[in-house]
Amino acid sequence: MSEQPTHKEIPYLRFTRNRIKKAMEEVYGITMFGLRFFRYVFVPPYEFGQVRKHLDELGSKSLPLLTVVGLIMGLILALQSRPTLDRFGAGGFLPAMIALTIVRELGPVITALVVAGRVSSGIGAEVGSMKVTEQIDALEVSAVDPYNYLVVTRVLACAIIMPLLTAYVDFLAIFGGFVSEWLSHNSSFQLYFTEVIQSLRFYDILPGIGKTIAFGYIIGVIGAYQGFNTSRGTEGVGRAATSAVVLASLNIIFLDMVIVQLTFLFLGPGG
């Protein structure tokens, strides 16, 4: 005879079912919330002043952290890769390996994760605070569309600034690799960057930089969504900021996996 479920299994199954249902509702809510952006972004009024303000707040203030991350990433990659390449007699390929690894994958993903940690949580906390203090309701009373004023401007700023930040981090990481090579092997600056430039093609740069626009969209949408759905006062604001970072990071990694597979499918492993 088959064993009957115990009284402890039924609550567990119910809890699991509720969690799955809640997760699916969250995915649906974020998707619909994000799709509204494409309808509102072309509808006046255009809040260019707010976009310019958020470009400064979300982008330029991330530069100090990204500068350190970019340099250290290049240094570590060069230090860790040199012994392995020397073992196979391929030390001369180090500049090309660093450039391709940084531009294609590490630079965009690490930049997006760092920006998500700083920006997405900030958007969630800021919009969440406006939600619990009824400032969003005040905007509606003043005949100002909260979605256009608070969400579209932030998402647009994130999508614009991410490629610029990624290009900045890519350069710093490649330069960090040169610093490591110069200190350990007295490498020539001209030779190093000549090999870097010769190794990079247009189809290496375009997917790496281009996908960061989608990463910026994810960071802005998820942060704003969590802020718009904040409840239970200051406790909810903290939860919104934390959830924004976690969900944005997970979605960035998942989307990156999809984009890499599509890139290999259409351009091939060497594209």
In a domain, 145, yes or no: yes
Residue 253 clears pLDDT 70, i.e. is over it: yes
Task: Show the tokens assigned to 81.
Answer: 């890769």
Asked whether residue 84 is domain-assigned, the answer is yes
Query: Average pLDDT of 211-232?
Result: 89
| Residue type (1 letter), 235 | E
Report pLDDT digits (tens) over 134-191. 888 888 888 788 888 888 899 999 999 999 999 999 999 999 999 988 888 888 888 8
- Domain coverage including residue 103: 48-267
Sign of the dihedral through C-alpha 245, 250, 251, 256: positive
Q: Is residue 57 part of a domain?
A: yes
Per-residue pLDDT tens for 81-137? 888 888 888 878 888 899 999 998 899 999 999 999 888 888 888 888 888 888 888
Read off the pLDDT band of 1 (50, 70, 90).
very low
Percent share of the chain, pLDDT over 90: 27
Residue 67 placed within a domain: yes
pLDDT of 66 strictly over 90: yes
Q: What angle do CA 223, 29, 260 make, to 5 degrees?
A: 70
Dihedral over Cα of 118, 125, 26, 30: its sign = negative
φ and ψ at residue 170, rounded to 5 degrees:
-60, -45
> Considering the chain, what is the average pLDDT of its residues?
85
The answer to whether residue 227 is domain-embedded is yes
Is the residue at 203 inside a domain? yes
212 belongs to a structural domain: yes
The full length of the chain comes to 271
- What average pLDDT does range 206-212 have in this prediction? 86
Residue 172 domain flag: yes
**pTM metric for this prediction:** 0.85
Q: Structurally, how many domains does the chain consist of?
A: 1
Looking at the chain, the whole-number percentage of residues with pLDDT higher than 70 is 92
CA distances from 163 to 120, 174, 246 (A): 16, 16, 22
